Structure formats: C-alpha cells, structure tokens
Structure 1
C-alpha cells in the first residue's frame, strides 16, 4: 500500500500515545508510565478530532494507539470504532497485563483493530519478567492467543540491548510459535527509564542486523527494525547485485519525522516518541499541518542537511540514521547515529563518542541457532 509513499506529505506511521497510565513500570519504558491517567490527556472529543485530522493524510492512514497502556482509557473502543469509520487503519500496542482479557481483545477486534502489537523481551517467563521488572509474560502470551482466536493479526515487539541480545534466537522461535505476522525489533534509545540499560555496541548491532536479514529470508513472518535504519544499508550490502532487498525497498527512508510522527497523551506532536522535541500541539494546529510544515519535521526530511558522518554517508537517503538516538546522544537531531559503525569512504570528520577507538566487543558472537 505504501511502497510509493511521499513522506513529505504523510507518515507511514502515526502514533498516538492515548495515555501514560499503565499497571506496569517496566525498566526500559520510554514513556516513564504512571499508575494514573494525566488530567490533561486529550479528551474523547479531542481524540476524535485528531483522528479526523489524521484521515486528511489519505486513505488507509496507519494509526498506532500506544501508551502507557491504551486499555486504561474507558473510551478506547469508541475511539477505535471512530477511526475505523474514517477509513484509518487502526492498530494498538497494549501492555501485557491482566486487563488484556480475551473479552477485551474481542471487543477491540469488533471495534475495528487491524493489528495488535505485544512486547516480548525474553524467550521464557524468567527472562521476560526479569528484563521488564514486572510479571507480564503469562498475560502477554495469553493475549497473543486471544488475538489469534479473535482473528487479529499479531505483531511482536522486542527490545535489543545488552540484556536481551543473546536471547534473540530463542525469542525468534517464540515469535514463530505465536503465529505473529511481524517481528519489530527495537534497538534501545536511552530515553525515559531506558537510560539505565546498556545498549549493544555498534559492531554487535551490525552483526544482529545481518542476522535479522537471514531471519527475514527464512521465516514466514516479516521483520522490521525500529530506531535502527541502517538495517536497510546492511540489506543493500548483502545483496549480490547491489540493490536493496525487500525490507530496504519497502521501508526505505522511514525515520523520525520522515514517514513517522508521534502525538503525546497531552497533544504535543513529535517526530518520534523517542525524540522529545515538540513541533506543535494538536489542540492548536492540525497534525497534518505540523507534519508537513513544521521546521523540525522539514529538517529531518533533508538528509543532505545532516551533520557528521550521517550527512556524508552515501546511504543517507535510504537510511538516514536514527534521529532519536542522535538527539539523545548530542542534543542535535540532525547529528550522527552513534549505533551505526559504518564510516563513509574518505570521511575524516568527527565520529560519535562511542566509536572513537572502539574495536571488537569481546568475541562479539552473532545470534545463532
């Protein structure tokens, strides 16, 4: 549907953080979720107006309802149904809690949810719950089965950091067993509670990217990365004819502000939930106008204006680097992505701090079966 998407005009993904309330307090939470709803959250009427504005992007605009835990809102199915009536492709990323009962899952499906994404950060109960600091594995698996029974396609989201990277092959097996249609692999950005976790090294990240391309070739489910756009460069490098593989072609150039936008629970518009620099407010300005015309968004859609090695890289238009990670590392969203180990030929400018003098990460074993 979006192969020819004009990312200057519309995002591939529009995320609305409907609330920050959540029954969990996971160690890596971007949102630093809280037990109770914020009094200034967008109201039902304001949320419906946001969805009506989003429909102006065009037919089938993808909207992800995120949190916190979206199920903390008692108007959730009403909002889903309204978006579905507008022709939006409504999807959701609920928390793995006991509130996500089979009945709630069926209600979401009846209201028009087109896909459900659940987080799985360990291949076993012990690994998953230890990583998240919460007991959510059993509830997550139960919700995955409920989604299958309700006919809702399942996406599995997994965080990659030092604590989880060695478990990725076993998590891949769980993704297959759960019947997921997509595995979304998120490479840690140090924001929110995630600042206390250790990322993988750039070299290890490169190894994981190559392995994920192998997984994509072998599995029936799709694979995509989040906040790791150099996955597309790795795809180009591994293609014998120098052309991008399927993932690079389908997802080429989708980064914060360029094919992606985020609306907070109180209405601020950001290029990404991991890039907390506001560009507007939906209570004052249409999300369409912010996405298309805000200076910050326009700057993020101009890879030729990036600084450092990302700006000099020949892959800057198909990759572009994680703008969120650049911002987290330097305060400059147009700077270099410190996770990418690639240095363009002939580039002699400054390198991100983590790459200076960095070589191997021990033996850096790749995830393997």
Structure 2
C-alpha cells in the first residue's frame, strides 16, 4: 500500500494555532495542558468515523517491499465500478454532516478512469475527498490539475528515503524518487494540500532526519511516520525492536517543532506526547527518564548536523485520538469493510449492508472500540484509553487483534508522575 494512510487523515484540518512557543530550554510553554497535548474527534467515535479509506484498485506499476495490497499490474474485475463507488460515497455522506473525510487510495488510483468523476460526486454530496496516488509516471501535472479541478481536498505522497537510491530501492522502480518530488512541487504550486508519508523500517532508520529535511525544504501540511505492519509483502521486512520504536517516536516528537508531524500505526506516540509534556513541565531529562537509546541519540545528532532546528513552528501539532475501528474504517477494492487496511478481518461488505450500519453495530468494530477488551500489557496500561496500541500489528504478529502492542517497550505503571498523568487522561 503506497500511501499507507491510516489513523489520521491525509490532509485533515490543521491543528488550531495557539499562543505557544518554546522557553529558553527549548521546551513547549504549553506543557501540562490536556486539550493541547491530544486532540479528540469532534463526534462520538461509535457513531461515525473520522476518516474512510477506500482501496479503489490494487492495480499499480510499483513493487514496493512493504505493500499491504500486494499490488498487481492489472485491475481486478471484482472492483467496485463507478455506480458502486458513487453509492459508497453516498453511504459515507449518510453518516451525517460534516461527513468523514474520504480518501481514495490503492494500488494506484490513477488507474481508474472515473477518478475525477468520483471526486466531483463527493464534492456534490458534501464529502471531502483526498487522493493517495503512487509516485509513478501516471502522476503528471495534467492529472494533478484534473484532480484539483474536480475538487480534491488534497494529496498524500510517499517518501521513504532522502535519496533516489534509498527511495527507489524500497519502491522497486527506478525514477520514483524524482517523480514523487516533481509531483509534490506541482501539487503545492496548484494549491493542493500535501501530506508526506514515510514507512519506517530498517532500510531508512538512520535516514529519517534527511527525510524531515526534505519535508521542511519542499513544504507539506503534514509528515507521517508509518510504523510498518507485517502484512502482505511487508512480512519480509525486518521489524523494529520496541526500544528502537521508542527512540523513533521521541525523535518524531522532537521534529514536531520543525515540521507538522504525526505517526501512523504507532498509537503509542500519544503516550510519548503525554510523557514528554509532563517531563518538560517537571524539568526532567527525557532521555534519562524514558531510557532512550543510541538510535535516538544518533537521530538527534544527525538532525543537528542538518540544522533541522533552525526553523521552528509556534506550536506542536497535537496527535488525534483515532484507532482501528474507532474513528477509522477501510473499504477494500471489492467492498469488504475492515477496521484498518492492515487488519485483514472483514466486518461486512458495502454491497450488502450500508457502511454506517457495519461501522456502528458489527461485533468487530464495537469490540475494538472497547479498551477493556485489550489483553496483555495494553489491557493493564494506564494509557490504554488514549493509545490502545496498533490492533493491526497485534493481529499481524499474534493473530489476535486484542493482543498487546508488539512494538511497545512501556511497562504499565512505570511512569513516575502518575498523578499528573491522571489529570491529563481523565
């Protein structure tokens, strides 16, 4: 899955600007304020999702090493046709206004000739539509202009290395890096909002500061660090250790004052945000308090070499509290409904039952919205209601969507400031 859009929308509404900044120590002056540390969905997550992702096709000319969809060259005859896709958009509108954001992904959505027709239909019925295309020769200025003219709210692109060698090697096709940068600059020039997605895996662990440098230089509404889920071709890629994951999450937090940053399938980033806010307020050294390791130190040093802190934002972007089945829903190319594109358990099909009914009443979705169903360390964790771990990764590793998050190093109850934490998480 090239766009690996999950959890938060590409191109979701930006965080409100606040009278915030950094003090002389470089810490946020907003530390300790719950409303500013995390954002919550505007509507009851049991009633409507924040975002609906539609895998419009699995056809794609790339051969990405991590692909969830195990994309193929040709389109599947079982795909939702134009009429069925319009009906899906109307099902999304039926959740109520404002409707969930609708993201058309793939495969490569530009393989569908009706792409602009569907975007325009969404606009007509009050559904914001974003597009998550592959960085291929199909991503031309002409097509980007057509998408923009049809009313797309934005675009998300994948950047998995700061060099052609790293990115093209991961994507399996020479030239993808250049195509992506050109499309990125073109989309920005057209006025499209752009999100940049980066798959965090062994191939680019040490290159993350370089990727952030590119995001800062070219400009993007959001940078998303996607923590790989072992599905599809991604099963063959090396997993991060829990300690490495903690190091990367803290690095993402650090660069949040350089570029607007979030994570995907790394829900424990919300825990890290709360921990860092409290530690900053208490004046504690986060490296010592959180036991961060050599990877974190290397990433920070590399960021310093690249002068990532030269330009700072007024405020960090608070992460949005969304998880699989809880504010998020994925519809496959054949219409099957899943809590996430990386959680291959189906709760129904939009050809047979309306999406609002599946989302609101299916045992799979209602179960995933119940934090008391979580097992292992996640079930015992004081952060479980604001984190919940990656249900997709838990399923991918253990076969149980309620198992503990495999890439989390946190021992429940070990954070020293439990009283301050309780005030933030309620």
TM over 0.5: yes
| 2:16 corresponding residue in structure 1 | none
> Using the alignment, how far apart are the partners of 1:139 and 1:259 within structure 2?
32
| 1:298 corresponding residue in structure 2 | 366
Residue 286 (structure 1) shift: 0.7
Tell me, yes or no, if the aligned pair for 1:322 and 1:337 is still in contact at 8 Å. Answer: yes
> Using the alignment, how far apart are the partners of 1:282 and 1:246 within structure 2?
38
CA 1:126–1:45: 2 relative to 1, 3 Å: same
> Using the alignment, how far apart are the partners of 2:122 and 2:77 within structure 1?
23
TM-score (norm 2): 0.78
Tell me, yes or no, if the aligned pair for 2:158 and 2:198 is still in contact at 8 Å. Answer: yes
CA deviations over 1:9-43 (Å, ceiling 9, x no partner)? 11111100000000111111110000000000001
Residue 214 (structure 1) shift: 1.1
| 1:358 corresponding residue in structure 2 | none
Return the match for 1:100 from 130, 136, 139: 139
Return the match for 1:33 from 64, 68, 71: 71
1:343 aligns with 2:382: no
| 2:195 corresponding residue in structure 1 | 155
Tell me, yes or no, if the aligned pair for 1:160 and 1:199 is still in contact at 8 Å. Answer: no
Bigger relative contact order, structure 1 or 2, given CA contacts below 8 A and separation 6+? Answer: 2
* Structure 1 residues without counterparts, runs of 5 or longer: 347-369
Residue 145 (structure 1) shift: 1.2
Return the match for 1:282 from 337, 344, 350: 350
Tell me, yes or no, if the aligned pair for 1:66 and 1:93 is still in contact at 8 Å. Answer: yes
Tell me, yes or no, if the aligned pair for 2:337 and 2:346 is still in contact at 8 Å. Answer: yes
1:85 aligns with 2:124: yes
Residue 96 (structure 1) shift: 0.3
| 2:205 corresponding residue in structure 1 | 165
1:251 aligns with 2:320: yes
CA deviations over 1:246-267 (Å, ceiling 9, x no partner)? 655x512x11111110000000
Tell me, yes or no, if the aligned pair for 1:235 and 1:247 is still in contact at 8 Å. Answer: no
1:176 aligns with 2:216: yes
| 1:316 corresponding residue in structure 2 | 384
> Using the alignment, how far apart are the partners of 2:201 and 2:374 within structure 1?
26
Residue 241 (structure 1) shift: 7.2
Tell me, yes or no, if the aligned pair for 1:118 and 1:155 is still in contact at 8 Å. Answer: yes
| 1:236 corresponding residue in structure 2 | 274
SS at match of 2:278: coil
> Using the alignment, how far apart are the partners of 2:409 and 2:373 within structure 1?
20
Tell me, yes or no, if the aligned pair for 1:236 and 1:242 is still in contact at 8 Å. Answer: no
| 2:227 corresponding residue in structure 1 | 187
SS at match of 1:159: strand
SS at match of 1:63: strand
Residue 6 (structure 1) shift: 1.4
> Using the alignment, how far apart are the partners of 1:291 and 1:90 within structure 2?
19
Superposed counterparts of 1:91-130, under 5 Å: 91-130=130-169
Tell me, yes or no, if the aligned pair for 2:58 and 2:71 is still in contact at 8 Å. Answer: yes
> Using the alignment, how far apart are the partners of 2:411 and 2:264 within structure 1?
21
Tell me, yes or no, if the aligned pair for 2:160 and 2:211 is still in contact at 8 Å. Answer: yes
Return the match for 1:44 from 66, 82, 102: 82
CA deviations over 1:106-159 (Å, ceiling 9, x no partner)? 100000111100000000111111122222111111110110121101110000
> Using the alignment, how far apart are the partners of 1:94 and 1:30 within structure 2?
15
Residue 5 (structure 1) shift: 2.9
1:71 aligns with 2:139: no
CA 1:172–1:246: 2 relative to 1, 3 Å: closer
CA deviations over 1:297-345 (Å, ceiling 9, x no partner)? 0000001111111111110000000000000011110111100111213
* Structure 2 residues without counterparts, runs of 5 or longer: 1-12, 14-39, 282-314, 415-426
> Using the alignment, how far apart are the partners of 1:223 and 1:259 within structure 2?
19
> Using the alignment, how far apart are the partners of 2:189 and 2:277 within structure 1?
38
Q: How many residues align?
A: 341
